[in-house]
Amino acid sequence: MIGKFKIGVLSTLTVVIFYEFYYGSLFDREPRLSVLRLKDKYFVYSCKRGMTCGGWGDRQKGIIALYLMANATNSKFRIQIEKPCDFTSAIQPKSFNWILNKNEFINKSSERRHILDRHGRALRDKLTKVNITEHFPRDVSYLTINSEFSHYIRQNKLYSQSLAWLKHLSMAEIFATIWRDIMTLSPELQKRYQQFVATRVAGKKLACAQIRIGPDPNNSDFNGEYRVITVAQTAQVWNLFQKYNDPDKYKIFLTTDNQEVRLKAKTLFPGVFIESDGPIGHVDKGPETEKTCHAFKKVILDQHILSTCDVLVTSWSGIGRHAAYVRGKESDLYCLLKDKDLRPCNFNSSLFQPSNW
């Protein structure tokens, strides 16, 4: 599958099309959400300003959960992300229009529920058996969720026919199938991605790391974050990347929440290190400012880049995990966890996939 791009320079187009090829992915499947003859009922993933929604990985889980509720009940699906800025400035619809238009909801009943963490895990257990429409009886349900639901909803026998397409798919396949079908980068991020591939990747292979540390004394956005891994543990990543420290063959790409880690990588790999432009910030805990909006766009672009990497190191984060899903292969995939050594992993490994996710 090759991405569709609008670009003026032929040489750049050639590089980008080559790089966007999905490496013969295992997950090149068609989703089964029809946008025809749907009920006049809506499931809306909602993240408004002033709300707690979770980071980008949490929001992606919520989006997939709401999509599947709509899919199961033959309802319409919409997305409303306003925090820290309008989501459609970074990602836009692909196969159908999921942009929220409140004019659709005139004279319709609505409800808003904030179902995070343990409340989300309790709901997904219920949805293995209950009627979703009866549980959410209003015409429009605005829901904020940050848990993985696909493994649970597909167990519900009430929806065995409408969800038959995902019966034998793994969690990774379900996510990748849906995400590829309904999401595309906005023109702004598409242009930035094309420029990144043409000028920074420049035809080389990519060895990539998504390193999440957690708390950072130099960045107030991450105050109160739990420790994911230590800065000292990243030495294992740098040791692995020494074999890719060859400017004739590789570029080393890093996305991280920690400035110290970023500067260390730049120092160790000056001839091959690349990164996308933009500030480091937390999309949910940071102030709702233009800077945080730029950080949000950087996170989305970085995740897209991670999904194209030849070698991928992930830490305990939905951003890296979802990028690996869309990447669609388990070869040259490594996991780094707190108090554990860096090692090869796969989508079924406890190193990669938490049991309560």
pLDDT digits (tens, 9 = 90+) for 90-142: 999 999 999 999 999 999 999 999 999 999 999 999 999 999 999 999 999 99
For residue 217, what pLDDT is reported? 77
| Range scoring the smallest mean pLDDT among 61-65, 164-168, 318-322 | 164-168
Range in 34-38, 41-45, 51-55, 159-163 with the lowest mean pLDDT: 34-38
78 SS3 class: strand
Question: Residue 15's closest CA among 5, 27, 25, 1?
Answer: 5
More confident residue, 12 or 265: 265
The pLDDT assigned to 12 comes to 37
Read off the pLDDT of residues 286-302 as tens digits, 9 standing for 90 and up: 999 999 999 999 999 99
Per-residue confidence (pLDDT) for residue 36, from 0 to 100: 58
Instruction: Work out whether the CA dihedral 96, 99, 103, 104 comes out positive or negative.
Output: positive
pLDDT of residue 1: 35
Would the pLDDT of 331 be above 90?
yes
CA distance 138 to 31: 26
CB 28 within 8 A of CB 107: no
Mean pLDDT, residues 41-53: 97
- Using the predicted structure, report yes or no on whether residue 326 has a pLDDT greater than 90: yes
In this predicted structure, the answer to whether residue 3 has a pLDDT above a threshold of 90 is no
* pLDDT tens digits, 336-351: 998 899 999 999 998 8
Distance in angstroms (rounded) separating the CA atoms of residues 154 and 134: 17
**pLDDT > 80? residue 152:** yes
pTM greater than the 0.85 cutoff: yes
Cα dihedral 303→308→312→313 (10° resolution): -10
Q: pLDDT grade, residue 219 (50/70/90)?
A: confident
* Contact criterion met (CB below 8 Å) for 122 and 145: no
**CA 115, 163, 130, 152: dihedral to nearest 10 degrees?**
-50
Specify the higher pLDDT residue, 222 or 308: 308
Residue written as token pair 């190193």: 351
Q: Is the pLDDT of residue 260 over 80?
A: yes
Condensed to tens digits (0 to 9), the pLDDT of residues 183-209 reads 999 999 999 999 999 999 999 999 999
Whose tokens are 């997939």? That residue is 64
What is the reported pLDDT for 356?
Answer: 59
Residue at token pair 């993933």? 45
Over 60: is that where the pLDDT of 86 sits? yes
List all residues 6 or more positions away from 243 whose beta carbon is below 8 Å from its beta carbon.
none
Q: In what helix (H) or strand (E) does residue 300 lie, and over which residues does it extend?
A: helix 290-306
Task: Look at 27 and 247; give whichever has higher pLDDT.
Answer: 247
- Beta partners for 210? 255, 314
Tokens of 227: 């420790």
Q: How many CB atoms lie within 10 A of CB 108?
A: 13
Instruction: Please tell me the predicted confidence (pLDDT) of residue 215.
Output: 74
The reported pLDDT for the residue numbered 180 is 96
Beta bridge partners of 42: 76, 140
Convert 9-33 to b/e letters by CB count within 10 Å (16 or more is b): eeebeebbbebbebeebebebebeb
Using alpha carbons, select from 6, 327, 8, 49 the residue that is nearest to residue 186: 6
Sign of CA dihedral 78, 81, 82, 85: negative
Position of tokens 């993240």? 47
pLDDT for 28 equals: 46
% of the chain at pLDDT higher than 70: 88
Checking if the pLDDT of 9 tops 80, the result is no
Sorted by where each starts, the structural domains of the chain and their CATH numbers stand as 31-185 (3.40.50), 187-344 (3.40.50.11350)
Q: Cα–Cα distances in Å, from 51 out to 47, 55, 222?
A: 7, 12, 17
**Does the pLDDT at position 320 exceed 90?**
yes
- 3 state SS of 314: strand
> pLDDT category, 37, cuts 50, 70, 90?
low
